[in-house]
């Protein structure tokens, strides 16, 4: 397999709070399928839920055990190559260690600079690979590639996720993700899952992700809110009702400048003909003019900011299993003012439930679609979320 470096990013690399505690992203206790044990077990895990298959990881999950899942290795895209991902703060250093990724310096990722880059996306922390490294023989300073990581940790330390991606390739490049239900929480209590057998539940929390591209180099961030709905009363007989929605996503470049408007302007123009700026002619891009076709209907957050189209689930009767593991398909659909919808992204999400009242869920999604700003370009968005059930104290 070969990866093609982005010429522009090779000429110079852009420089790119508090995230929560925890020493490391825990690894499975069953070493035979530990991705860092050298076994390289890439087989999907069998489950009593349906398709899509769960990622590699813990081979014998139970409701009372820790469960670790990592991105399956893909030699075509470069996904799943990041291994041995560890969050380090045993001495208060707030760093990440990422193994098996070429040209990321000394494998240590430090917290993003909030002035020149991005340090935080919602409640999740952002980390940067080193921009330079040193030849140990000559002492010469060498440029590295652009790598970024997002780390999320649940309120009690029961769940975690990490995502690593690179912007230095003109395809998706090397990276990986891991998400997990830990064996113990921050207080040393055993983490387990007790699934309710009645009622419905709503979960809310933050979402953050990284976008990389096929067809050009570069890297962008996305941040928003996640919502999950679960029908517990129909978890019997395989009818496990799960729905995920990702709302209010805003898009940022690698330096933290918002680019949501530019993206939506291009999306509207491409979806509504070539006659002008479409819906954004007066509102956003100031160019005026009208489109010959339908215009994009703008979604906005509670503060009135334009946001990306909503991500919605593809509902299936067997999305979850008795261990609390969830996997399903999803899609992003843009609505136009003539009532039509255009699918602008498609993908898969994975998640794990946790808690005595199933009060917490951690997960990751991967979605691809055409980037309307550059012809022939595809984006890959990898995002993580941790959502919570509203349980009165």
In DSSP terms, which residues pair with 209 in a beta bridge? 222, 383
In a domain, 2, yes or no: no
- Angle 54-225-266 (CA atoms, 0-180°, nearest 5)? 95
pLDDT tier, 95 (very low <50, low <70, confident <90, very high otherwise): confident
Proportion of the chain above pLDDT 70, given as a percent? 69
Gap between the Cα atoms of 12 and 22, Å rounded: 34
Which of 53-62, 95-104, 122-131 has the weakest average pLDDT?
A: 95-104
The answer to whether residue 39 scores a pLDDT higher than 70 is no
Tens digits of residue pLDDT in 197-212: 888 899 999 999 999 9
- 172: Cβ contacts below 8 Å, ≥ 6 apart: 77, 78, 79, 165, 212, 213, 214, 380
* Structural domain boundaries enclosing 188: 7-389
Give the residue with greater pLDDT, 336 vs 173: 336
Distance from CA of residue 82 to its chain's centroid?
14
User: Which pLDDT belongs to residue 240?
Assistant: 62
In a domain, 377, yes or no: yes
Which of 232, 242, 199 is closest to 349 using CA atoms? 242
Answer whether 0.85 is exceeded by the pTM: no
User: Is omega for the bond preceding 52 within 30 degrees of 0, making it cis?
Assistant: yes
To the nearest whole number, what is the mean pLDDT of the chain? 77
Over residues 273-278, the mean pLDDT reads: 33
User: Which pLDDT belongs to residue 11?
Assistant: 26
The answer to whether residue 317 scores a pLDDT higher than 80 is no
pLDDT tier, 270 (very low <50, low <70, confident <90, very high otherwise): confident
In a domain, 237, yes or no: yes
Gap between the Cα atoms of 381 and 305, Å rounded: 21
The separation between the first and the last C-alpha atoms of the chain, rounded to the nearest angstrom, is 53
The answer to whether residue 332 scores a pLDDT higher than 90 is yes
- Domain tally for the chain? 1
Which of 7-11, 23-27, 113-117, 249-253 has the weakest average pLDDT?
A: 7-11
Q: At residue 369, what are phi and psi to the nearest 5 degrees? A: -170, 170
pLDDT tier, 101 (very low <50, low <70, confident <90, very high otherwise): low
In a domain, 113, yes or no: yes
In a domain, 1, yes or no: no
């Amino acid at each position: 397999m070969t990866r093609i470096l982005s010429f522009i990013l090779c000429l110079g690399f852009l420089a790119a709070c508090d995230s929560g505690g925890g020493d490391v992203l825990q690894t499975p206790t069953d070493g035979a399928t530990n991705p860092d044990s050298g076994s390289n077990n890439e087989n999907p895990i069998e489950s009593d839920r349906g398709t899509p298959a769960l990622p590699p990881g813990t081979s014998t999950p139970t409701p009372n055990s820790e469960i670790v899942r990592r991105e399956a290795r893909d030699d075509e895209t470069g996904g799943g190559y990041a291994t041995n991902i560890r969050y380090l703060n045993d001495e208060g250093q707030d760093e990440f260690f990422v193994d098996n990724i070429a040209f990321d310096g000394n494998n240590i990722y430090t917290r993003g600079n909030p002035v020149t880059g991005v340090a935080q996306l919602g409640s999740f922390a952002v980390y940067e690979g080193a921009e330079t490294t040193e030849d140990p023989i000559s002492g010469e300073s060498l440029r590295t590639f652009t790598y970024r990581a997002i780390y999320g940790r649940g309120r009690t330390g029961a769940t975690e996720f990490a995502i690593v991606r690179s912007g230095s390739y003109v395809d998706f490049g090397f990276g990986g993700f891991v998400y997990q239900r830990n064996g113990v929480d921050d207080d040393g209590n055993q983490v387990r899952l007790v699934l309710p057998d009645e009622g419905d539940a709503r979960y809310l929390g933050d979402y953050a992700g990284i976008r990389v591209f096929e067809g050009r180099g570069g890297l962008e961030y996305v941040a928003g809110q996640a919502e999950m709905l679960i029908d517990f009363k129909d978890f019997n007989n395989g009818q496990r009702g799960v729905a995920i929605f990702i709302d209010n996503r805003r898009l940022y470049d690698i330096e933290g400048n918002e680019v949501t408007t530019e993206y939506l302007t291009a999306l509207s123009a491409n979806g509504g003909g070539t006659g002008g700026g479409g819906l954004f002619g007066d509102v956003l891009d100031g160019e005026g003019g009208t489109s010959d076709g339908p215009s994009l209907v703008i979604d906005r957050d509670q503060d009135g900011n334009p946001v990306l189209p909503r991500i919605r689930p593809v509902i299936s009767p067997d999305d979850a299993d008795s261990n609390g593991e969830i996997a399903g398909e999803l899609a992003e659909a843009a609505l136009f003012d003539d009532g039509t919808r255009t699918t602008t992204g498609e993908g898969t999400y994975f998640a794990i439930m946790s808690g005595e009242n199933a009060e917490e869920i951690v997960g990751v999604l991967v979605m691809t679609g055409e980037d309307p700003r550059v012809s022939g370009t595809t984006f890959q968005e990898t995002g993580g979320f941790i959502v919570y059930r509203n349980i009165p104290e």
